[in-house]
Amino acid sequence: MSPAPNTGEGGEGDRLPDLAPLMGMASGLWVSQTLSAAEEIGLFTFLSEEGGSSLAALTRGLGVPERPAEVLVTACVALGLLRWEDDRVVNTDLSEHYLVRGRDYYMGDYVRMLREFVYPGWMRIADAVRSDRPVRDESAPGKGIFAKENRPEFFWKGLRPLSSLTARALAEEVDLTSTASLLDVGGGGGAFAVELCRRNPGLSVTVYDLPHVCEHTREFLLSTDLRERVRVHPGDFFAEELPSGHDAILLSMILHDWDETTGRKLLDTCFQALPPDGLVVVSELLVDDDRSGPLDAALMSMNMLVGTPGRNYTTGEYRSWLTDAGFVGTEVVPFHGPGANGAVLARKP
């Protein structure tokens, strides 16, 4: 069908749909990069330390020229990251909690991880769509997408606050009070291990991850009060059996990194490692079975397209993979976390 001639009348009389949602999509990068620039120059940390600031003091304190300082502050106020108190600008609750360096749930490392590691690939996402291949640059092709050479160390640091907050949300809804030991498969920076132990006093966690990740995680754990209850176990879940002797296994943001065949194999490996009645917990941004959303899961899936051979799967897909691996009693527990909207639970008979 040939396109309608451009009459300047919108095709169907003068009634045009509201363009605003499309404008938001087209310029979405402006929002994320305003946040990113403000975080990078230390704006929120400066304002927290100073208890707010005039524009003049801010330009002096941060060493930023007046014009960009005013533009950036105005944009941050419009975004709800800052607010004016007379002629002083102050952090809002949101930025004070999550964007001040040193805070428990400081998200700045996540913002940096997106900016420096993830977004270069997003700029070429159409290539990923056309080719069905990740478009991340790999310094060591063939070594694996999580190899030391292919992931900067700040990837795990960046993921930690997001995963800590997800773990808090999961701990509210998934009852682990009668679980004594949990194996966190691909446990990364140890965020889940720490949060789950804090919320379940009887729990011990083993973080299982690649050796170079475990080195970094071990260091982080030493800075917590949980070194007696959280340990690391270096290994490669594609090359060896998982350590046995745990009552439960957690897979948080693991299966979405891989294709279906690989994901199913990993569930078989988990099944082998669990004792009878052992629990498996798959925590992910789950896609609705009718593939209509939710938006955060759908966009995380796009992010997987950029960087991995995986995607975000539906609840129904996970139920059937778990059943095929031999697990029984699959159950979906919804919650609201930044890195997961629910967990699919099942037990080894």
Ligand X SMILES: C[S@@+](CC[C@H](N)C(=O)[O-])C[C@H]1O[C@@H](n2cnc3c(N)ncnc32)[C@H](O)[C@@H]1O
- Collapsed DSSP state (helix, strand, coil) of residue 290: coil
> Cβ closer to ligand X: 278 or 337?
337
Residue 119: enclosing H or E segment and its boundaries?
Answer: helix 119-122
Which CB, 187 or 263, lies closer to ligand X? 187
CB closer to ligand X out of 237 and 327: 237
For the bound state, the minimum distance from the C-beta of residue 121 to ligand X, rounded and expressed in Å, comes to 15
Q: Which is nearer to ligand X, 174 or 213 (CB)?
A: 213
CB of 131 to ligand X, least distance (A): 22
Cβ–Cβ under 8 Å, residues 204 and 194:
no
Q: How far is the CB of 40 from ligand X (least distance, A)?
A: 23
Give the list of residues 6+ apart from residue 169 with CB closer than 8 angstroms, or none: 335, 336, 337, 340
Which residues 6+ apart lie within 8 Å of 317 measured at CB?
Answer: 260
- The tokens describing 344, both together, are 């699919």
Of residues 97, 216, 233, 256, which has the active-site annotation? 256
Amino acid, res. 104: D
Q: Is 216 a catalytic residue?
A: no
Shortest approach of ligand X to residue 126 CB, angstroms?
24
Q: How far apart are the first and last CA of the chain?
A: 57
Tokens of 219: 């260091």
Name the residues that contact ligand X, by CB under 6 A.
146, 159, 163, 186-188, 191-192, 209-210, 213, 236-238, 252-254, 257
Q: In angstroms, give the least distance from the CB of 191 to ligand X.
A: 5
Q: Is the dihedral of CA 73, 74, 75, 81 positive or negative?
A: positive
Between helices 43-50 and 28-40, what is the axis angle to 10°?
Answer: 50
CB 222 within 8 A of CB 253: no
Q: Which residue blocks in 254-294 are alpha helix, DSSP H?
A: 260-273
Q: How many CB atoms lie within 10 A of CB 66?
A: 12
Between 66 and 236, CB nearer to ligand X: 236
Residues carrying an active site annotation: 256
